[in-house]
């Protein structure tokens, strides 16, 4: 990636973020997301050519956005809290919980690998290229949290009158989020325990949830963000805000299934176990994403 391309990636990321937030009066969240990531990148990551805090910074940004939205809601609420206020604070708490759990999990993992992530091998020594990754991460946080920040928008993204009462979509969204969260943390825990067993070195996991899906953790993550959208989007004031809110699960799904998640891991697995009959059978009989019973081996 050349200098111009690296600068363009950061510039386009910022431009897209502003395009989504300026019309909705939510530019403060651009300052939060890009501010945190660029600060860590410029102060620590680039000077030290270190990716140790990359994932932790992304997760912490989710938590910070959740904190800002909750504080905004509570500071503007009347003395008698409504269902709308409880819904907003609940959504913030859900995002914060997810961010804290993910941050702990990813930071523990990279620390176990001495702060090294192979994804950054050719990137950390190129300042502009490295910075572009932090810019993309900022955009990822912003787009993913759109349902939340739009729900909390106190001026241009106000809730509709009907938002004062609890609705069926609130409970469906909450149930989807809890289900996805449980699936994600269970899958991560199962894989972590599998890797801790030294006898499993250079082996692939095909037990627990991984028996039914090659990437159950990503299925859980996609599901919980669908749940967040179902919880928040119906209560947004305008059709434009609803469309923006729906970008979140679509973007997460696209990112995990087409860009940085499944494609990279599938390629890595193919490179490692291309001649491994058991893995080829597992791959042929097990769904990529959505958990289901394995197909019969041919």
> pLDDT tens-digit profile of 251-293?
999 999 998 889 999 999 999 998 999 999 999 999 999 999 9
In a domain, 294, yes or no: no
**Rama region for 200: left / alpha / beta (φ>0; ψ in -120 to 50; rest):** alpha
The owner of tokens 């651009």 is 30
On whether residue 296 sits in a domain, the answer given is no
> Would you say residue 250 lies in a domain?
yes
Residue 150 lies in a domain: yes
When divided into structural domains, the chain yields a total of: 1
* Residue environment code for 131-148, b if the CB has 16+ CB neighbours within 10 A, otherwise e: bbbbbbbbbbbbbbbbbb
Q: Considering the domain boundaries, does residue 295 fall inside one? A: no
Higher-pLDDT residue of 28 and 72 is: 28
- The H or E element containing residue 290 is none
Tell me if 102 is assigned to some domain.
yes
4: pLDDT strictly greater than 50: yes
In a domain, 290, yes or no: no
- Domain encompassing residue 233: 3-285
Per-residue pLDDT tens for 105-153? 999 989 888 888 877 888 888 999 999 999 999 999 999 999 999 998 7
Does some domain include residue 77? yes
Q: Which of 104, 113, 283 is nearest to 205 (CA)?
A: 283
Please tell me the predicted confidence (pLDDT) of residue 64. Answer: 98
Best CA proximity match to 54, nearest among 121, 126, 106: 106
Confidence (pLDDT) at 173? 98
Burial degree of 236 (CB within 10 A; 0-12, 13-18, 19+): buried
């Amino acid at each position: 990636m050349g200098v111009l391309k690296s600068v363009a990636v950061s510039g386009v990321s910022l431009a897209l973020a502003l395009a989504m937030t300026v019309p909705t009066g939510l530019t403060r969240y651009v300052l939060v997301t890009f501010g945190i990531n660029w600060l860590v990148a410029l102060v620590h990551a680039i000077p030290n050519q270190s990716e140790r805090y990359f994932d932790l910074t992304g997760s912490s940004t989710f938590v910070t956005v959740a904190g800002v939205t909750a504080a905004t809601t509570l500071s503007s609420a009347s003395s008698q809290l409504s269902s709308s206020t409880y819904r907003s604070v609940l959504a913030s708490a859900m995002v914060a919980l997810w961010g804290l759990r993910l941050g702990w999990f990813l930071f523990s993992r990279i620390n176990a690998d001495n702060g090294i992530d192979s994804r950054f091998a050719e990137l950390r020594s190129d300042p502009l290229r490295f910075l572009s990754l932090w810019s993309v991460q900022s955009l990822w946080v912003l787009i993913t949290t759109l349902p939340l920040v739009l729900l909390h928008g106190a001026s241009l993204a106000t809730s509709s009158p009907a938002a004062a009462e609890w609705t069926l979509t609130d409970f469906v969204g909450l149930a989807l989020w809890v289900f996805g969260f449980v699936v994600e943390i269970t899958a991560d825990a199962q894989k972590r325990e599998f890797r801790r067993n030294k006898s499993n070195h250079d082996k692939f996991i095909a037990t627990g949830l991984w028996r039914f899906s090659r990437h159950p953790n990503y299925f859980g993550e996609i599901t919980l963000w669908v749940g967040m959208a179902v919880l928040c989007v119906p209560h947004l004031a305008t059709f434009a805000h609803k469309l923006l809110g729906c970008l979140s699960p679509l973007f997460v799904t696209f990112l995990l299934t087409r860009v940085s998640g499944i494609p990279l891991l599938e390629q890595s697995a193919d490179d490692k176990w291309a001649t491994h009959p058991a893995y080829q059978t597992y791959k042929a009989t097990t769904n990529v994403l959505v958990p289901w019973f394995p197909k019969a081996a041919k």
